[in-house]
């Protein structure tokens, strides 16, 4: 009888374990738009952060997200979306998260919950043949500046224009927004813009790719900013999954290795607090 009870207890334990695993997997699947998949909104025209290599998503965000998905036991699926429409697509449930070098800003935090994952900044670029070599945003007064459409620094450019340039009688900063950074760089090359403002990592890649035809004229990342994985406001189930997977990546060292590969840094607690404080 004792032996029978022991066998029964073991059978129950196995049944409970299998049931727990089943319901655990079901719970994870139920939190995402497509069961078994983490659907990712990303502007795949923004190397080195995200781009398409042949038919395969490549760059920092696809690599980071693929590692994160393994800890979630989900398959990553990327939905290529132009940057200016990313948050709209997230709100419309086209994808579960945004992984697209999305800066954490108070305005975005009204509709998006963030998991901060790296810090970067901006750089100014100019045509190498031009005599105009801006060092700061104040040097852009009265100039035409090309930029990625919907980028977080666009309001800052307008702010500098209205508060610094125009009161000094130097002329407004004329911001021209383009769907991709490559198009913004082409505007610079064709003299349709006097300067280009872009993310520091992107600026370096553009300067390298164009083999000296475009040069970075500012020093160091300007206006350092925190970027975050974007999650629909109030979607606590997906945010919890991302938080847990991210924590596991830090423990294994995978996160630190990817940052090193792309010359990025982990945001400090102070930087995260500064990025999020104004939205609270």
pLDDT bucket at 185, cuts 50 / 70 / 90: very high
CB 160 within 8 A of CB 174: no
The pLDDT of residue 223 is 85
Q: Say yes or no to pLDDT of 7 above 70.
A: no
The pLDDT of residue 278 is 54
pLDDT bucket at 253, cuts 50 / 70 / 90: very high
Mean pLDDT of all residues in 138-165: 96
> Which has the closest alpha carbon to 182: 219, 207, 161?
207
Q: At what angle do helices 181-189 and 200-209 cross, to 10 degrees?
A: 50
CB 59 within 8 A of CB 42: no
The pLDDT of residue 4 is 41
pLDDT bucket at 220, cuts 50 / 70 / 90: confident
> Which has the closest alpha carbon to 86: 57, 117, 119, 43?
43
pLDDT tens for 30-61 read: 589 999 999 999 999 988 999 999 999 999 99
Domains of the chain: 34-120+224-266 (3.40.190.10), 121-223 (3.40.190.10)
Q: Say yes or no to pLDDT of 221 above 90.
A: no
Mean of pLDDT over the chain: 88
Q: How far is CA 251 from CA 224, 231, 248, 254, in A?
A: 26, 23, 5, 8
Is the bond into 48 cis (omega within 30 degrees of 0)?
A: yes
Give 6's contacts (C-beta < 8 A, 6+ positions apart).
none
Greater pLDDT, 238 or 46:
238
> Which has the closest alpha carbon to 44: 91, 2, 79?
79
Give 42's contacts (C-beta < 8 A, 6+ positions apart).
50, 57, 61, 62, 78, 79, 80, 81, 86, 98, 99, 100
Query: What global pTM score does this model have?
Result: 0.71
CA distance 126 to 188: 7
């Amino acid at each position: 009888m004792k032996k029978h009870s022991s066998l029964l207890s073991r059978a129950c334990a196995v049944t409970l374990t299998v049931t727990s695993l089943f319901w655990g997997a079901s719970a994870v699947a139920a939190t995402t738009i497509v069961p078994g998949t983490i659907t990712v909104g990303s502007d795949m025209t923004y190397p080195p952060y995200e781009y398409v290599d042949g038919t395969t998503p490549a760059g920092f965000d696809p690599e980071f997200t693929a590692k994160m998905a393994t800890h979630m036991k989900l398959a990553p699926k990327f939905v290529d979306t132009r940057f200016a429409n990313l948050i709209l697509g997230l709100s419309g449930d086209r994808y579960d998260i945004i992984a697209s070098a999305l800066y954490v800003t108070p305005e975005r935090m009204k509709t998006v919950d963030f998991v901060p994952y790296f810090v970067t900044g901006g750089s100014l670029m100019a045509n190498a043949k031009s005599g105009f070599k801006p060092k700061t945003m104040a040097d852009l007064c009265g100039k035409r500046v090309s930029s990625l459409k919907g980028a977080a620094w666009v309001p800052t450019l307008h702010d500098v224009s209205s508060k610094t340039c125009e009161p000094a009688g130097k002329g407004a900063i004329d911001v021209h927004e383009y769907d991709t950074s490559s198009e913004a760089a082409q505007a610079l090359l064709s003299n349709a813009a006097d300067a280009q403002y872009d993310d520091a990592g992107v600026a370096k890649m553009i300067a390298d790719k164009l083999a000296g035809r475009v040069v970075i004229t500012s020093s160091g990342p300007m206006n350092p900013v925190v970027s975050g994985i974007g999650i629909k406001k109030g979607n606590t189930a997906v945010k919890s999954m991302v938080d847990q997977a991210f924590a596991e990546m830090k423990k294994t060292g995978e996160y630190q290795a990817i940052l090193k590969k792309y010359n990025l840094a982990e945001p400090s607690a102070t930087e995260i607090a500064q990025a999020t404080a104004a939205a609270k």
